[in-house]
Amino acid sequence: MIIMINGSFGVGKTTTAQALLQAIPHALLYDPEEVGYMVRNITRDARSANEETSDFQDIAVWRPLVIAAAEHLLRRYARPLVLPMTLANPAYLDEIKNGFNAFDPHVYHFCLTASLPTIQRRLTERGDTDKSWCWNKTIEYVPLFADNHYAQHIDTENQSVAEVVAMILQHVK
């Protein structure tokens, strides 16, 4: 089983993922951001012009490596994977979801949502400023994540982490 926790920066993906690890015995936290850092470092002098953006998701090898790593983790350890990640590009989301579905029939995608002021307050509480990359991307991403392409939506505005986790567990069991 793969549980994808999508949504804007500051919406509560990592907090929700950590709580899911407590609720799902033996689940593994797999953060594709770690793959992104590795790919960015390895390809520093090799990337094409269209891969030279501020987002490692635009580096072409990132998406297939995220998929391959998930497949290897599932095959080797046979444990559920919980993946917190911000996938705002619908083509990238589809590529990764379809890649996961090719080797696991139990792929769940949830998109956490909240209002921009709430997310900005949360970002400020964790130390981000209005000049940070996450802050600026959030302004761009919050409206995108309202689209049905990102459903199953879960509004985190006025719900506790426990309530969000309960909603996710309801869908995956």
The Cβ-side half-sphere exposure at 59, using a 13 Å CA radius, reads 23
Q: pLDDT grade, residue 173 (50/70/90)? A: confident
> Are residues 9 and 129 in contact, defined by beta-carbon separation less than 8 angstroms?
no
| Type of residue at 70 | A
User: Taking the mean position of all CA atoms in its chain, how far away is CA 16?
Assistant: 11
Handedness of CA 107, 16, 76, 70 (dihedral sign): positive
Residue pLDDT, tens place only, 12-54: 999 999 999 999 999 999 999 999 999 999 999 999 999 998 8
User: Taking the mean position of all CA atoms in its chain, how far away is CA 126?
Assistant: 18
Q: What is the mean pLDDT of residues 123-151?
A: 93
CATH of 2-172, one of 3.40.50.300, 2.70.170.10, 3.30.420.10, 3.40.50.2000: 3.40.50.300
